Structure 1
């Protein structure tokens, strides 16, 4: 589809893709398709914020985003801007920026990454021919399948992620080329059906936003708010997180996200804890996307190693954010942290940590040696839902 063609009934529109990645959905826009120019990061954010808010349907005082592609919850109010990495870049093939858009206020937030939508970037870049390293290799044979690795640089955190997934060779303009194979037998809790697995491997993920795996230097800190003091582990792996024992705030792991959202008193208390912990990590408490606060508990069954209830954008998450699952798995292997204290003893020696969340469970890999987080990895699935022109308010 040519980017120069816009249906005549769309007065202002741009070329975009709409994908599900893991348990999230979002709008994906190539940087070259943006309808404005910029000479500074301030101009870039000033142009991008209103554009993405319009596309997703924010601000919306009703919280439903009916005028856009958003879905009225934080996991469905997301966007990604992507581009090829600089030519001859030794580390990455593709660069991308994740954006969280506030549902009711339309606030633009690039303070952290999204593990779920990261699973889309490699397959999308491959489909669009943006992976130069593959273009220099011998062309595949029609019908051939292969596991490919696309190297991603997340610009929110300046971290490198490898996306490893199945590609197939199909005819394109008379010659075979690689494209993402979405069909497969891998299943993940929170998403119906099966699909091909996209393995995300985050290398050297510690200090994604703060520069340190333990931003305060402590495995446990005391967070004092206007009402009380509570112990928490402040950990920055893939994305910053604040982990507290859910029993310390009187909440049980069997409660649903809806029940937690309805407890306005506890939600306000948890937000106070999050904001104070954010300051202790050296981050801005006005950035709602990170760090996220996570209630953790001992394993709820013999099939899992730890149980959690995450909060995102002041709302109880219906599953677990991908980067928070990565962070939690690493924290389970860092001696002394609250997750380490609560996790099943055998999980501390295994490569994989099984995390229970409200929609089921997630298997997360973490390699930690002598307190250093070498890598974390997570399996996701991805599906293209739409490619075309999306209108926006100028």
Structure 2
């Protein structure tokens, strides 16, 4: 697309425990800088409240999926580019995947006619352009249309919906990007993993925490926030990510013993806000990390005697995920399988009208609501 669009076709969808705006790539400018500026204005950034756009004043509700038909990959039906739109800064990042919005990509592809429904259930093979990884999403399509209703329930989302089963093809990146099961970073013993999302696993008690604190309590603790950021910044180069001070990866997950019969309790930072649940790919990283011999999860996690399924506890419930970890040809741990059940729901399908002009900081301070309304930095 060329020129400055004054209106853009858009589908707003909840995917997993996130919410985002889904676009066809052809409906957005080809130039990445022009595209990002447009998306900032569509989402209402930069503004802590995103009052003039679609964003919901939180990283979990300020997300974008850009979908297209690949012309060079017979292994995929559609390409999916995830973009994280910052809430209160002029920033759009493509440095990570989002497994939650991924749950809506298959249904969106059918809605837009990129993939034809094929019987009672349709499977869509998705290439995640951020990393090149592949996933297959399977969801109900009776009568040739996506059916969003069903009995599947996921923690962090009210009500029930149709299940979207997502199976991830094993990635090419090493599970242990530093080559070690443990690293000492900023004086803290951690395990760095990448199972679709670069993630640093940290024992909660190493930070003087129980691991059961609420997201609000953790975000209000300036000492914890500063220490986590030091760990994140030092982990970046070790994980092959370079200088991460201006990016949203790696994520950080605090681990503590399970409280409700699961495998582990988590508190995940994305990277500065504490997730009210946990992302799909973040959970995939945690689940794989729990099975790494010599990792920091030893003595914390309670692994089942049989099977690949693990229950990852988080602030609003749990996420069940199946992850198999074996040994690669080089003798290092490698992931053989990752699968998860998510849900998605179409909220709005129509036309969005972006704010005119270029995205720029607001002229003055925005009125603030209570503490939960304001992004913690």
Task: Give TM-score scaled by structure 2 length.
Answer: 0.88
C-alpha contact (below 8 Å) 2:79/2:129 kept by paired residues = yes
Task: Render the CA deviation track for 1:222-281: whole Å, top value 9, x for unaligned.
Answer: 103xxxx00110101111100000100011222100011111121111111111111211
Aligned equivalent of 1:217: 179
C-alpha contact (below 8 Å) 2:9/2:350 kept by paired residues = yes
Helix, strand or coil for the counterpart of 2:234? helix
Among 341, 364, 368, the residue aligned to 2:325: 368
Task: Render the CA deviation track for 1:88-127: whole Å, top value 9, x for unaligned.
Answer: x421000010000111103110001000000000011012
Aligned equivalent of 1:324: 282
Whole-angstrom distance in 1 between the partners of 2:299 and 2:139: 34
Among 162, 166, 169, the residue aligned to 1:200: 166
C-alpha contact (below 8 Å) 1:74/1:313 kept by paired residues = no
Whole-angstrom distance in 2 between the partners of 1:205 and 1:332: 18
1:374 Cα deviation from its structure 2 partner: 1.4
Equivalences for 1:13-162 in 2 at 5 Å? 13-34=7-28, 36-37=29-30, 44-60=31-47, 63-86=48-71, 89-131=73-115, 134=116, 146-162=120-136
C-alpha contact (below 8 Å) 1:296/1:306 kept by paired residues = yes
Helix, strand or coil for the counterpart of 2:140? strand
Residue segments in structure 2 that go unaligned for 5+ positions in a row = 328-332, 358-377
Equivalences for 1:164-243 in 2 at 5 Å? 164-169=138-143, 178-205=144-171, 207=173, 212-224=174-186, 229-243=187-201
Helix, strand or coil for the counterpart of 1:195? coil
Aligned equivalent of 1:296: 255
Among 306, 311, 316, the residue aligned to 2:269: 311
Whole-angstrom distance in 2 between the partners of 1:345 and 1:111: 31
Residue segments in structure 1 that go unaligned for 5+ positions in a row = 4-10, 38-43, 170-177
C-alpha contact (below 8 Å) 2:125/2:137 kept by paired residues = yes
Q: Deviating runs (4+, > 4 A) in structure 1?
A: none
The count of residues paired between Structure 1 and Structure 2 equals 348
Aligned equivalent of 2:295: 337
C-alpha contact (below 8 Å) 1:23/1:116 kept by paired residues = yes
1:340 Cα deviation from its structure 2 partner: 4.5
Name the CA shift for 1:198/1:298 in 2 (closer, same or farther; >3 Å). Answer: same
Helix, strand or coil for the counterpart of 1:180? coil
C-alpha contact (below 8 Å) 2:212/2:265 kept by paired residues = no
Helix, strand or coil for the counterpart of 1:122? helix
Helix, strand or coil for the counterpart of 1:304? coil
1:73 Cα deviation from its structure 2 partner: 1.0
Whole-angstrom distance in 1 between the partners of 2:303 and 2:26: 50
Whole-angstrom distance in 2 between the partners of 1:272 and 1:45: 30
Whole-angstrom distance in 2 between the partners of 1:372 and 1:23: 27
- What root-mean-square deviation, in Å, do the aligned CA atoms of Structure 1 and Structure 2 show? 1.8
Whole-angstrom distance in 1 between the partners of 2:299 and 2:171: 22
